[in-house]
Structure 1
Amino acid sequence: MNCKNCDETLEHGAQFCNHCGARVIVEPFTFKYVTQDFEERFLNLDRNLLVRTFRDMLLRPKAVIDGYIDGVRKRHMNLANWLAVAITASGLMIFVIRNLYPESLDMTWMVEAMGESQKDNPFFQNLEQEDPTETMWWMEYQAILYILMIPIYALLAKITFIKQKAYSYLKHIVIVGYTQSWLSLAMTLPVLILLPFGANYMKMSYWVILIQFLFSAYVYKRMFNLSFLGIVWRSLLFILIGIGVYLLLVIGVVIFMMVFGAGFAAQG
């Protein structure tokens, strides 16, 4: 028989093509085949790559990240598969929340927290009147937002660690990608466990943000072998840079609306 990918002749009993290296597939296309193919391509449970990557990102993140950058591909999951698993887990969590526990998206508690002075605020009035699943429509696009935030976080990190010449912007993308994916996987199971007990997802999200910040600081501390004061200083610098970039974006949007908004109004 010939290889289905490059059409070269295969040796008898070959499991891989000697020409292109593709796996020789002879089993019928069944549900069992699909599940085995998914496990082999993404999870690699036979080599414990998923568990090993999750464990080592917690215990020795530098080995995982530098290993991928240096071309090591057999010890841990590569970044693309790691991201895919994390996005899948996050998508599953959002599906469960929106369809089984929509009450966990309720944000009316914010009205009580803000006090009587905000009772007439239109924003908080809408929170009390609208369906939580409609208010949180953006959660359907969380996977896209998740991907888009990685290069933004990496840019802020590159500016923060500008003196670390050995790590380019692309390498910071790898660091942030592995870190954010670990956080997504680590937070999914606890959230799913707490939801049946009446936990509010929106309240938990504040703790998730705090854990996200602390774990990211921990990873960078291990990556660059920083002291405690060193990572505290750079964490504060990261926050200041982030606030500065955010303010610049807001100012840019306002100027854009003033310039082009006036032009559109004149045309109208």
Structure 2
Amino acid sequence: MNCKNCHTELQDNSDFCNSCGGKVIRNRLTFKNLFEHISETFFNYDNKLLRTFVDLFKKPELVIGGYIDGVRKRYVNPISYFGLALTFTGLYLLILKKFYPEALDFSNYVMEGQEEFQRRNVTFIQEYMSIFMMLYVPLYAIIARISFMGLKKFNYTELMVVLMYWQAQTSIITSVIIIIVAMLGITQGMISFIFLPLMILYGAYVFKRLYNLSIGQIVLRTFLFLGVLASTMIIITIIIVIIMFLTGDLQELIEAQRAAVEAAKQ
């Protein structure tokens, strides 16, 4: 008998492959064993996925620091966990568009006359959300590298691992809660104002545990991170405005704003 995964020759009574560790499957696939496999993978407390999710809150230094130090079997690796977060994000956007489109309405959070411009921006971001999430990780890692300068515990690649776990954890939580609050008639824009500071606090908590910093130290480093991030966003905004000016979108926005002001005077 050979392993179906790596084709290594096995003994007849083997339950696992000595080469790749794969489980030996002898029975045909049925609804019963399919359900048992899904239950074991996703709902068993002792499985890696649930353990990773829980320990990223309880002791993130074991999950993230352990992976960086070479512990690769106990928890879900950052790329797989990040891929799961992308799936959750795509799923929640699909559910909102299909069943709760009003939850995606941001018109109450923009200036009068900019509704159409904002709608186009939100639609663009939603369509390419997965790409934005992937781009955030190397950007945040650069900012973290700057913010935690002098602390040489992690290199740039290792900081990307930290940020992948952080981004994945916050995205999974956000996706689930946004769907729940959408059922209650609460828009995504409203809940975003609540989640943003919570995401920042969770990020500070993760870095505090990883770097073993005091409260004062992590507060200073967090404000430095936010300052660098704000400066980066301003530069990106300026670049976007220049592109809009060159493409004519800026003039369209100005005219829409002027029309809204004139309509309000009448």
Same fold, judged at TM 0.5 (above)? yes
Structure 2 equivalent of residue 138 of structure 1: 125
Q: Is residue 76 from structure 1 mapped to residue 75 from structure 2 by the alignment?
A: yes
**1:152–1:43 Cα change, 3 Å:** farther
Deviation at 1:201?
0.9
User: Would the aligned equivalents of 2:125 and 2:132 in 1 still touch at CA under 8 Å?
Assistant: no
- SS of the aligned residue for 1:177 comes to helix
How far did 1:30 drift?
Answer: 5.0
Q: CA deviation at 1:124?
A: 2.6
Superposed, 1:184-263 pairs within 5 Å as: 184-249=171-236
Counterpart in the other structure of 1:124: 115
Answering whether residue 18 of structure 2 is matched by residue 27 of structure 1, we say no
What is the CA deviation profile of residues 115-168 of structure 1, one whole-angstrom value per residue up to 9, with x for unaligned ones? xxxx4x3x23556xx7x9x95243132222212211111111011112111211
- Taking a change above 3 Å as real, the CA distance of residues 186 and 6 of structure 1, as seen in their structure-2 partners, is closer
Unaligned runs of 5+ in 2: 248-266
Identity of paired residues, percent?
Answer: 34
Coordinate RMSD, CA, aligned: 3.2
Q: Secondary structure at 2:70's aligned position in 1?
A: coil
Q: TM-score, normalised by structure 2?
A: 0.77
Map 1:159-170 → 2, pairs under 5 A: 159-170=146-157
Q: 1:97 to 1:125 in 2, by over 3 A?
A: closer
Residues 21 and 221 from structure 1, CA distance in 2 versus in 1: closer, same or farther, beyond 3 angstroms?
A: closer
- For 1:193 and 1:71, the matched residues in 2 are separated by 37
Q: Structure 1, unaligned stretches of length 5 or more?
A: 262-268
CA drift of 1:71 comes to 1.9
Match of 1:264 in 2: none
Partners of 2:51 and 2:4 lie apart in 1 by 33
Tell whether the 8 Å contact from 1:191 to 1:201 is kept in structure 2 after alignment: yes
Q: Report the residue type matching 1:17 in the other structure.
A: C
CA distance in 2, matches of 1:15, 1:70: 30
The worse-fitting range, judged by mean Cα deviation, of 171-180 and 11-20 is 11-20
Tell me: higher relative CO, structure 1 or 2? Use CA pairs within 8 A at least 6 residues apart: 2
Task: Report the CA distance shift for 1:32/1:139 in structure 2 as closer, same or farther (over 3 A).
Answer: farther
Q: Give, in whole Å, the separation in 1 of the partners of 2:115 and 2:5.
A: 58
**Alpha carbons 2:103, 2:186 under 8 Å: kept:** yes
46 and 241 in structure 1: CA distance in 2 versus 1, 3 angstrom threshold: closer
Q: How much has 1:5 moved relative to structure 2?
A: 4.1
8 Å Cα contact 2:143-2:225 kept in structure 1: yes
Change (3 A) 1:245 1:2: same
249-258 vs 72-81, which moves further:
249-258
Q: Is the 8 A contact 1:105 1:136 kept in 2?
A: no
Query: What one-letter code is carried by the residue in structure 1 that aligns with 2:205?
Result: Y
Deviation, 1:46, is 5.8
Alignment of 1:98 with 2:89, yes or no, is no
Q: TM-score, length-normalised on structure 1?
A: 0.77
Classify 1:252/1:46 alpha carbon distance in 2 versus 1 (closer, same or farther; 3 Å): closer
